[in-house]
Amino acid sequence: MDFKVADLSLAAFGRREIQLAEHEMPGLMAVREEYAKAQPLAGAKIMGSLHMTIQTAVLIETLVALGAEVRWVSCNIFSTQDHAAAAVVVGPEGTPEDPKGVPVFAWKGETLEEYWWCTEQALAWPGGDGPNMILDDGGDATLLVHKGAEYEKAGAVPSTGEDDPEEWGIILDLLRRTVTDEGRWTRIASRIKGVTEETTTGVHRLYEMFKAGTLLFPAINVNDSVTKSKFDNKYGCRHSVLDGLNRATDVLIGGKVAVVAGYGDVGKGCAEALKGQGARVIITEIDPICALQAAMDGFQVTTLDEVVGIADIFVTTTGNFNIITADHMAQMKHNAIVSNIGHFDNEIDMAGLARIPGIEKTEVKPQVHTWRFPDGKQIIVLAEGRLMNLGCATGHPSFVMSNSFTNQVIAQIELFTKTGEYPIGVYVLPKHLDEKVARLHLDALGVKLTKLTKAQAEYIGVDVEGPYKPEHYRY
Ligand code: NAI
């Protein structure tokens, strides 16, 4: 088996944590039981690009339990938990000397070159084949396949790309080496039945590609299952934003001024958590609806320029770029904490910060750095501007990820087994499946659901068994 992880001797520790996580992931375990016999993913070759954590290990082993062959990478250079990666490679039946699990290419603290190398490895199936399914988080695996196929069609790889020039240089170098006249990426793309996408940012990319007519295979937008974005993005971040701040800095949050940029699902969770710790939370927003929600929830809403000099903690949650500029950082208080929990690192202008003449970067510990300005003032930047809850802590806890990942497994089964029903496009799972995911998590929390009477169901115009809400309902 080919793989590359940090240290296989961590596998036993990883396995013990996987066993604890399985108990906290009732949705995934119920799906394993429901489909154990039918093996709906037999024949599926799933390439996954999603934070290689303990929770993801339970997802991977669920896909395998349903018959899939799997190869995996992390979708962020800092988010791998090395013991989880080791345990997945070794597998429940293997040993570090004789691993019998799943090929993983991921370790905590990859360089960007290594990150894209890993992505390419996981897309290269032994025997020259590619995968026939992608499970993506943020869209990097989907992007590599699409760009490879696009440049093969054009007959050349361009010399510069979009977005971050450093990262694009690395992607283009990789493609220059791997684009072939026989159309290696075109062949990979043509075999793929579909992709299931985990997060807001990746979903955004998929809709853009579909609109531009460049999407090469169908996609299920897992993020917009209600049991994903209204749970993982909100309650998951409500938990893990504090975990990131605490593990990175251990600063007392009560009494501090915290700015949360963006009041979408992630911003709502972060703001509630910081408020719960006693911080005075200030929101920035561009959308009048979300700004009004924040105001009604009791938060001051203003612009970053107004409060940049008084805040102690900054968290960006927008999925947009250039939210905190180098100029903003120069105006911050001494030891202000600057962090991002959105998918990509461009929410904070790290490149601009590094260009300030005389600025000095010091590592306090991995993923925590001080940046000292020439006037002696410094700020603390978490996870180099990458998602701080996975870079500085261990991401969301198992129970909330069980909701997200149960959607992922159901979406993989949908696209793999009903390919003909999904022409190229971007779809969300039907509401009855969304309700099913929620239902699978109720018992564990001791929730007793009220059952509709037939007459009540008729009165509100739904089926006794659901779905209970129209498509336009917003929760
Ligand atoms: P969302 O679309 O619900 O919220 C983003 C909010 O930011 C919107 O309300 C938007 O109006 C606002 N916004 C956009 N530009 C802004 C600007 N210049 N200033 C202030 N506000 C601005 O998206 P969601 O679901 O909250 O996700 C946000 C990001 O977090 C995405 O990149 C997503 O992929 C990522 N994410 C990260 C997770 C993690 O564990 N770190 C978990 C889930 C999502």
Which of 143, 188, 192 is CA-nearest to residue 168? 143
Question: Does 265 sit in the ligand 1 pocket, CB within 6 Å?
Answer: yes
Active-site annotation holder among 22, 69, 198, 243:
198
Does residue 118 have an active-site annotation?
no
For residue 68, the CA-to-ligand 1 centroid distance in Å is: 32
For residue 320, the CA-to-ligand 1 centroid distance in Å is: 7
Q: Which of 266, 307, 323, 392 to mutate to test the pocket of ligand 1 (most atoms within 8 A of CB)?
A: 266
Does residue 223 have an active-site annotation?
yes
Question: pLDDT digit string (tens) for 86-97?
Answer: 999 999 999 999
Phi, psi of 10 (to 5 degrees): -85, 0
Q: What is residue 105's DSSP assignment?
A: E
Question: pLDDT digit string (tens) for 345-404?
Answer: 999 999 999 999 999 999 999 999 999 999 999 999 999 999 999 999 999 999 999 999
Question: Does 284 sit in the ligand 1 pocket, CB within 6 Å?
Answer: yes
Q: Which long-range CB contacts under 8 A does 89-92 form with residues at least 24 apart?
A: 89/1, 89/3, 89/5, 89/8, 89/11, 90/8, 90/11, 90/14, 90/15, 92/15, 92/61
In this structure, is the dihedral angle defined by the CA atoms of residues 242, 243, 247 and 252, taken in order, positive or negative? positive
| pLDDT exceeds 70 at position 163 | no
For residue 233, the CA-to-ligand 1 centroid distance in Å is: 9
Phi, psi of 305 (to 5 degrees): -55, -35
Question: pLDDT digit string (tens) for 234-268?
Answer: 999 999 999 999 999 999 999 999 999 999 999 99
Name the residue with the closest Cα to ligand 1, atom 37: 342
Does residue 334 have an active-site annotation?
no
Question: pLDDT digit string (tens) for 325-354?
Answer: 999 999 999 999 999 999 999 999 999 999
Return the pLDDT at 69.
Answer: 98
Higher pLDDT, 165 or 366: 366
Mean predicted confidence (pLDDT) in 35-44: 97
In this structure, is the dihedral angle defined by the CA atoms of residues 228, 233, 234 and 238, taken in order, positive or negative? positive
Which of 111, 383, 112 is CA-nearest to residue 248? 383
Tokens describing residue 75:
């979708």
Question: pLDDT digit string (tens) for 396-451?
Answer: 999 999 999 999 999 999 999 999 999 999 999 999 999 999 999 999 999 999 99
Residue 336 contacts residue 379 (beta carbons within 8 Å):
yes
For residue 276, the CA-to-ligand 1 centroid distance in Å is: 21
| pLDDT exceeds 70 at position 138 | yes
For residue 422, the CA-to-ligand 1 centroid distance in Å is: 28
* Residue 140 marked ligand-binding: no
Q: Which of 56, 207, 223, 233 to mutate to test the pocket of ligand 1 (most atoms within 8 A of CB)?
A: 233
* Residue 320 marked ligand-binding: yes
Does residue 404 have an active-site annotation?
yes
Return the pLDDT at 181.
Answer: 80
* Residue 239 marked ligand-binding: no
Mean predicted confidence (pLDDT) in 154-159: 91
Question: pLDDT digit string (tens) for 183-203?
Answer: 999 999 999 999 999 999 999
| pLDDT exceeds 90 at position 128 | no
Return the pLDDT at 180.
Answer: 83
Question: pLDDT digit string (tens) for 55-81?
Answer: 999 999 999 999 999 999 999 999 999
For residue 196, the CA-to-ligand 1 centroid distance in Å is: 19
Higher pLDDT, 102 or 182: 102
Does residue 232 have an active-site annotation?
yes
Active-site annotation holder among 49, 233, 240, 339:
233
Does residue 79 have an active-site annotation?
yes
Question: Does 199 sit in the ligand 1 pocket, CB within 6 Å?
Answer: yes
Question: pLDDT digit string (tens) for 211-239?
Answer: 999 999 999 999 999 999 999 999 999 99
Question: Does 293 sit in the ligand 1 pocket, CB within 6 Å?
Answer: no
| pLDDT exceeds 90 at position 160 | no
Cα dihedral 277/281/328/324 (nearest 10): 80
CA distances from 29 to 25, 158, 421 (A): 6, 46, 27
CA distances from 200 to 79, 128, 225, 320 (A): 18, 32, 11, 11
Question: pLDDT digit string (tens) for 262-321?
Answer: 999 999 999 999 999 999 999 999 999 999 999 999 999 999 999 999 999 999 999 999
Does residue 472 have an active-site annotation?
no
